[in-house]
Amino acid sequence: MNLKHTLLLLCLLSGLQTMAQTHRNEFGFQSDNDSFLAQGSDRYYTNGLFVFFRRGLNVNDTTRFKNKVLGIELGQKIFNPASGQTPDRDMVDRPFAGYLYAGVNLNYLYSNESNLKLGAQIGMVGPAALGRQAQEVIHNTFGFYELQGWEYQIRNNFQFNLSGEYNRLLGRAGKDADISLNTYANLGTGFTGAGAGFLVRLGKFNQLFNSVSMQSTAIKQRGFEPLNKHEFFFYLRPTLRYVAYDATIEGSLFTKSDNSVEVRLTRKPVVFSQQFGVTYGGERWIFDLSAIFQTKDTKEMLKAHQWGSATILYRFN
């Protein structure tokens, strides 16, 4: 074998190795709970559980796009007042509410490290969302206190919500630090509003079109060289939100209940959140841990939100 053939074989083997490192599918879970912060609190956004499946799609225009990802998710969010033990209606400072949904989204990831993510969700807010039952299972399993006050929860209403995200890299200092613009908008029967903020990453990360940060690690073919083989970075994500409507606070958009048991509170239109986290993205496994602190979203709330979030994903072909 001459030198030319040897070099050609090495190039082919290198290409095969690169292809072997791409995984088209990923599946995983996310769990949110205020108890993760070990502060002894059980208030407001108290629990969330989500299941994800993502699949990398064909990319035909490689000069414009680097990746396209289809996402499917199932999720449940649970809210209660300052305590899940609220026997008096007058003590409710944020309504008891559950939100159960199924969603689909399409993530377009561009060569200039921007992305457009479009999604839709259908679901229920109210008793049909099974928030009370899920919280009772958690409390009974771990020996927590007895719940009181779910009879005051938001009444049943069907949800159809649309969402859009646009994110873009603003600047990068070498391979160890960068900052991106994050924006989003929601429109629907339950959640309407918009927000903007920044994502700051410090550590070993990849381009936004193939990174845990933009839920873009599922990829069918990779015609580019990643910045790092594995990701391991810390991040900061401050976000300012405008909330035009929130069904977990205000109930149905179309029919106001005349039931005096249901509690009606005053939504705050502007909310600020701050997220601190650490992410690891390996060959197949992805882990993310974060803490989120958010200002009050009703005028009656005694304290601000705070909760922790843990995500685990497995990538495969």
Neighbours of 133 (CB within 10 A): 11
pLDDT value for 61: 86
In eight-state DSSP terms, residue 136 is H
CB atoms inside a 10 Å sphere around CB 270: 12
Gap between the Cα atoms of 100 and 156, Å rounded = 11
Residue at token pair 């603003």: 170
Region for residue 305 given its phi and psi (left: phi exceeds 0; alpha: psi -120 to 50; beta: otherwise): beta
- Sorted by sequence, the CB contacts under 8 Å of residue 150 that are 6+ apart come out as 96, 131, 132, 135
List the pLDDT tens digit at each of the 317 positions of the chain: 555 554 455 444 444 444 446 899 999 999 999 999 988 888 999 999 999 999 999 998 888 999 999 999 999 999 999 999 998 999 999 999 999 999 999 999 999 999 999 999 999 999 999 999 999 999 999 888 899 999 999 999 999 999 999 999 999 998 899 999 999 999 999 999 999 999 999 999 999 999 999 999 999 988 899 999 999 999 999 999 999 999 999 998 887 655 555 778 999 999 999 999 999 999 999 999 999 999 999 999 999 999 999 999 999 99
Amino acid 263: pLDDT:
79
Residue with tokens 């994903």: 313
Domains assigned to the chain = 22-316 (2.40.128.140)
pTM score: 0.90
Quote the tokens at residue 217. 């690690």
